[in-house]
């Protein structure tokens, strides 16, 4: 009877750790080692001050044994952290635009990602799946994922695309699994319909769409907040670094602001 109680207690403790995002020393080291590894460029590491990868992933409850989905990895900024942190213990799916053979942004982005993954054995266990905005996509086998992540992508997909992505994430996740969202945050003083092309998205809209897909909002964090960002710039969010769309015009001003103000939301299935 005592043995059964101990097993039950251990199970409850394990579940609690996943929900709260607590990590053991070894698990934390795996993440820190990936973040500090030499395979990450100096340029990528310089952005840690704005993207806070360790704090963000820990907030979402990341653990090296998890099955994780990263939606549209793009240039692989987060993939370069997730892949080595998960290798040998967990699993990483990169749900990215398919290569249709055409010379367009989507196909070219997929080709570049494939080339990056082939460039280093550290990415050898990453599995790519096809993601198509506004269409039902199998991000990972249904009910297999512990964590689905999207970083600064929602503004690319529009309302219909956001709603579909949340449905796809819900399908991919296990019960109790987490959807982690980081996105450029539009101030409540701005009108969404008038500023949709700015790259910023209202936090309340994201929460409503996620809830409509079946998720519960478990927590929000200000780890990626930037009070210096007014979200009112000539070229939208791309005015700020790293894009600096105005190039040298007012460059010092925008460098002083830094990267965008971002919502960081944790949803649970």
Q: pLDDT grade, residue 6 (50/70/90)?
A: very low
User: Within a domain: residue 7?
Assistant: no
Q: Give me the pLDDT at residue 24, please.
A: 60
Helix/strand/coil for 187: coil
Per residue in 159-204, pLDDT (tens digit) is 999 999 999 999 999 999 999 999 999 999 999 999 999 999 999 9
User: Within a domain: residue 252?
Assistant: yes
Total of domains in the chain: 1
User: Within a domain: residue 121?
Assistant: yes
Instruction: Write the CATH number for 200.
Output: 3.40.50.150
Tokens matching residue 65? 């044994």
Q: Give me the pLDDT at residue 177, please.
A: 98
User: Within a domain: residue 243?
Assistant: yes
Q: DSSP secondary structure string, the chain?
A: -HHHHHHHHHHHHHHHHHHHT---HHHHHHHHHHHH-TTS-HHHHHTHHHH-HHHHHHHTT--TTSEEEEE--TTTTTHHHHHHHHTTTSEEEEEE----SSSSHHHHHHHHHHHHHHT-GGGTT-EEEE--TTS---SSSTT-EEEEEEES-GGGTHHHHHHHHHHHHHHHEEEEEEEEEEEEEEPTTS-TTTSGGGS-EEHHHHHHHHHHTT-EEEEEE-TT--TT--S--TTGGGGSTTT-TTTTTTHHHHHHH-SPPEEEEEEE-
User: Within a domain: residue 3?
Assistant: no
User: Within a domain: residue 6?
Assistant: no
CA atoms of 243 and 238, how far apart (whole Å): 5
What is the mean predicted confidence (pLDDT) over 149-153? 98
Q: Decide the pairing of beta strands 262-268 and 216-221.
A: antiparallel
User: Within a domain: residue 244?
Assistant: yes
| Domain enclosing residue 143, as ranges | 23-268
Q: pLDDT grade, residue 16 (50/70/90)?
A: very low
Per residue in 40-99, pLDDT (tens digit) is 999 999 999 999 999 999 999 999 999 999 999 999 999 999 999 999 999 999 999 999
Tokens matching residue 155? 């503004």
User: Within a domain: residue 1?
Assistant: no
What is the mean predicted confidence (pLDDT) over 135-164? 98
Per residue in 102-135, pLDDT (tens digit) is 999 999 999 999 999 999 999 999 999 999 989 9
């Amino acid at each position: 009877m005592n043995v059964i109680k101990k097993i039950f207690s251990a199970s409850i403790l394990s579940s609690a750790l996943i929900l709260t995002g607590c990590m053991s020393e070894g698990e934390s080291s795996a993440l820190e080692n990936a973040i500090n590894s030499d395979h990450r460029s100096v340029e990528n590491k310089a952005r840690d001050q704005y993207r806070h990868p360790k704090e963000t992933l820990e907030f979402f409850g990341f653990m090296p044994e998890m099955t994780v989905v990263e939606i549209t990895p793009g240039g692989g900024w987060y993939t370069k952290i997730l892949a080595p942190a998960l290798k040998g213990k967990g699993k990483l799916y990169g749900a990215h635009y398919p290569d249709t053979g055409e010379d367009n942004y989507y196909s070219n982005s997929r080709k570049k990602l494939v080339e990056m993954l082939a460039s280093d054995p550290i990415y050898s266990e990453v599995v790519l799946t096809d993601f198509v905005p506004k269409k039902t996509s199998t991000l990972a086998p249904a009910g297999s994922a512990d964590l689905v992540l999207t970083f600064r992508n929602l503004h690319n997909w529009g309302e219909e695309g956001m709603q579909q992505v949340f449905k796809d994430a819900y399908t991919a996740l296990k019960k109790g699994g987490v959807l982690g969202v980081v996105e450029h945050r539009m101030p409540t003083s701005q009108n969404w319909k008038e500023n949709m092309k700015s790259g910023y998205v209202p936090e309340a809209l994201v929460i409503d769409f996620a809830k409509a897909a079946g998720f519960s909002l478990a927590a929000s964090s200000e780890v990626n907040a930037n009070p210096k960002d007014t979200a009112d710039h000539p070229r939208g969010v791309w005015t700020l670094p790293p894009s600096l769309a105005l190039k040298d015009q007012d460059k010092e001003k925008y460098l002083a602001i830094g990267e965008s103000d971002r919502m960081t939301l944790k949803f649970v299935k």
